[in-house]
Structure 1
């Protein structure tokens, strides 16, 4: 029997033109409609939230999944969180366990949801994780090099709040006057590949000529990391967490004088309009293979049930074709090895049914965690009774 390496080699010898299919309108078609299951893929085809439905899908590529994610549903609000870890799962798992709870505590204390409240929830999560790093780095020094991107969306009484660190992305699909869906990116990618990010780093570190370095054809901060904002990555934020030369991948030539990365999120607020039809929250693994518009077109042109999985498997088909494979061949590749073909990917699609906004809908208050497949009670009941006018606080 062929080893997995042999199977990959055989698959890669197949000509790519057999699988690179485009229809007459130049829309990407995926080749995932087969009976062979992808054992590394998890999904919730369709669930209810206070403003409609949501679809949720995650695929694992790393030996231990580093994407953690959640959807919290309440009577008057919906929360989405996608946490794309790097260096290990500890930071993304910590965010999943704490950020939403910090947000609910702050809302209860202040009687409002606002941009400032979201920033404070991120700050409390960062402080908590750095405290964990401080307590455990003597036993596990590499925890100082573990971090996570973080994107959060909150819909409350018709207003959308999005807070972002890193290069996960939120995209909204809106219907144009010509009845076509238009994708709009709501977040900025905090990634050194962006000229704007490099200029921001150079401006804030004028005395450091190596703040951004081109390494192996990729722009990296201090020659190490691509994202400029994250939870964690303590060794790039405080000198006390610097790693010694025994960890060359994370070793800095000289101690940092001030934080190289930040955990201050960029925040976007929008009062949802009748032409706003859905939101897509996804880790950067999706956007490596699909454009914003391609993902929005898939959501708009397919049934709601299972649409997050449809978006994800289309991206996997594209990733496979880049290696001159079919998605069916990719399914045979084991976790860990899959990382050479694609990253862990999380996709959450939130549909917005405007006729439900402001109505007392019967939606269970649930917490749905991606991939680990847990569903339990949420803590959104504390929002009941908060004055809708509180959003004018922003």
Structure 2
């Protein structure tokens, strides 16, 4: 899966329809739209079945996702539209060049995507310097030859639902860690990388922020915090760091985990931080484990929305009436992909089904 929270100035990948309108003409092949909600209730993937859903809260949709099934591997993720297109293309190129998937291939794809985005920033620097402030979190999951590769740069999260035979329960196992300054380990990492900068992390309005500006410590883009050449006019002052810097403040390289898929591994939940603000890992896993598969991603989104409404002491039915923009006061954009793991399908060397390429944005499936 490719997943992520993106930035402020990008156009949304889909535009909401009139409430109840079905953009797919009644078919779930390309997903459906219901107001601010997009969903693809079910489909087949290289590892089994999947379900996807996206709910918009911001004026511009800041979450998007993509799922791919190729002949020998499948990919899932969250990220910015440009980042997603580049990441998939580069993964395909590097996998072909290296005759297979590896940690090195994934790292190269992330860093090459970063370089491609930097080219775009330079190209638009004089006419539209805002590109230097555009960034995307990026969570990628790849299943290949019985292995699950998780690569993360940002604050999205993937959680595994795995059977604990000792208790006959499906337990939540978090497979990625958020690169968010709210976590002590992230603050410690930043301080160790920038020992001469006492302001590398600042507590601002009860929230820890890198340089008092941004919460994440890794991303694709955000060139103004990685390259001093963009920390100047014509970029708006609100994005500029007061003091010059010699080395990147943020990182683009991902944290990568490799997990051998076992028969006890039942499903994966890939989601942006908007979901995890309202549901714990185990709560999400319990919902997926106890409810029908069809539409399960949409059910997770709605569970998070109900919790958001409860926190504001309002009814869920009233929250649904609030339009995007204003809706952001109650919850963030939320993207979810649930990937069920069929161990027999995971163990195959080739995907025998059709090519699958679907974006969690209403743009269709091949």
- TM-score w.r.t. the length of structure 1 is 0.82
Query: In the alignment, does 2:275 pair up with 1:275?
Result: no
* Separation in 2, partners of 1:325, 1:130: 44
Q: Residue 88 of structure 2 aligns with which residue? A: 100
The Cα shift of 1:272 comes to 0.3
Alignment of 1:211-250 (within 5 A): 211-244=200-233, 247-250=236-239
Query: In the alignment, does 2:196 pair up with 1:207?
Result: yes
Query: In the alignment, does 2:69 pair up with 1:73?
Result: yes
Residue from 50, 54, 64 that aligns with 1:54: 50
* Separation in 2, partners of 1:186, 1:331: 32
The Cα shift of 1:355 comes to 2.3
The Cα shift of 1:246 comes to 7.1
Residue from 119, 126, 149 that aligns with 2:137: 149
Is contact 2:129–2:235 with CA below 8 Å preserved after alignment? no
Which string of whole-angstrom CA distances, capped at 9 and with x for unpartnered residues, describes residues 323-376 of structure 1? 111221111111111111111110000000112233465311121011233213
Structure 1 residues 168 and 195: CA distance shift in structure 2, 3 A: same
Query: In the alignment, does 2:127 pair up with 1:131?
Result: no
SS at structure 2 position matched to 1:374: coil
Residue from 352, 356, 376 that aligns with 2:345: 356
The Cα shift of 1:131 comes to 0.6
* Separation in 2, partners of 1:73, 1:361: 8
Residue from 19, 35, 40 that aligns with 1:39: 35
* Separation in 2, partners of 1:278, 1:221: 34
Runs (4 or more) in structure 1 with deviation over 6 Å come to none
Query: In the alignment, does 2:274 pair up with 1:285?
Result: yes
SS at structure 1 position matched to 2:338: strand
Structure 1 residues 122 and 245: CA distance shift in structure 2, 3 A: closer
Structure 1 residues 245 and 113: CA distance shift in structure 2, 3 A: closer
Most deviating of 208-217 and 247-256:
247-256
Structure 1 residues 357 and 38: CA distance shift in structure 2, 3 A: closer
* Separation in 2, partners of 1:374, 1:59: 17
Structure 1 residues 61 and 243: CA distance shift in structure 2, 3 A: farther
The Cα shift of 1:321 comes to 1.1
Q: Residue 309 of structure 1 aligns with which residue? A: 298
* Separation in 1, partners of 2:96, 2:351: 22
Mark the runs of 5 or more structure 1 residues left unpaired by the alignment.
1-36, 84-91, 377-394
Q: Residue 117 of structure 1 aligns with which residue? A: 105
The Cα shift of 1:207 comes to 0.9
Alignment of 1:371-386 (within 5 A): 371-376=361-366
SS at structure 2 position matched to 1:278: strand
The alignment covers a number of residue pairs equal to 332
* Separation in 2, partners of 1:285, 1:223: 22
When Rg is computed on C-alpha atoms for both structures, the one with the higher figure is: 1
Q: Residue 173 of structure 1 aligns with which residue? A: 161
SS at structure 2 position matched to 1:122: helix
* Separation in 2, partners of 1:47, 1:284: 24
The Cα shift of 1:245 comes to 8.6
* Separation in 2, partners of 1:259, 1:253: 15
* Separation in 1, partners of 2:270, 2:232: 34
Q: Residue 321 of structure 2 aligns with which residue? A: 332
* Separation in 2, partners of 1:56, 1:364: 18
* Separation in 2, partners of 1:357, 1:196: 34
Mark the runs of 5 or more structure 2 residues left unpaired by the alignment.
1-32
Structure 1 residues 338 and 231: CA distance shift in structure 2, 3 A: same
* Separation in 2, partners of 1:373, 1:217: 39
Structure 1 residues 265 and 361: CA distance shift in structure 2, 3 A: closer
What is the RMSD of the two structures over their aligned residues, measured on CA atoms? 1.4
